[in-house]
Amino acid sequence: MKYIEPIRVKVLMIMFYATGIAGMVIGLAVAPPNAVVIITFMGVINFGLGAFFTFIFLTQIEKEPDKRKKKRKGD
């Protein structure tokens, strides 16, 4: 998998966790009776995506700089 900058992954994590929690709360407390299941389910999906990006953040290996492009001290 391609390396993703940590700040971008953190932003995605926060975004998905926040919308997931908001979706679950709205689905269980505020939504009309005919939309409770679908809104809560979408909140759970967003929460799962937040967990996926947390996994990516914790397991990705740091990108190594390209040694071919580095200048030598003698040049």
- Quote the number of domains for the chain: 1
Q: Supply the pLDDT for residue 2.
A: 87
Please report, for residues 4, 10, 43, 52, 59, the alpha-carbon distance to residue 47 in angstroms, rounded to integers and kept in the order given.
20, 14, 6, 9, 19
pTM here? 0.80
List the domain range (segments joined by +) for residue 11. Answer: 6-58
Look at residue 70 and tell me if it is in a domain: no
Kindly give the confidence (pLDDT) of every residue in the chain, 75 residues in length, as a single tens digit, with 9 standing for 90 and above: 788 899 999 999 999 999 999 999 999 999 999 999 999 999 999 999 999 999 999 999 887 777 777 776 665
Q: Supply the pLDDT for residue 12.
A: 96
Q: Supply the pLDDT for residue 65.
A: 73
Look at residue 52 and tell me if it is in a domain: yes
Look at residue 26 and tell me if it is in a domain: yes
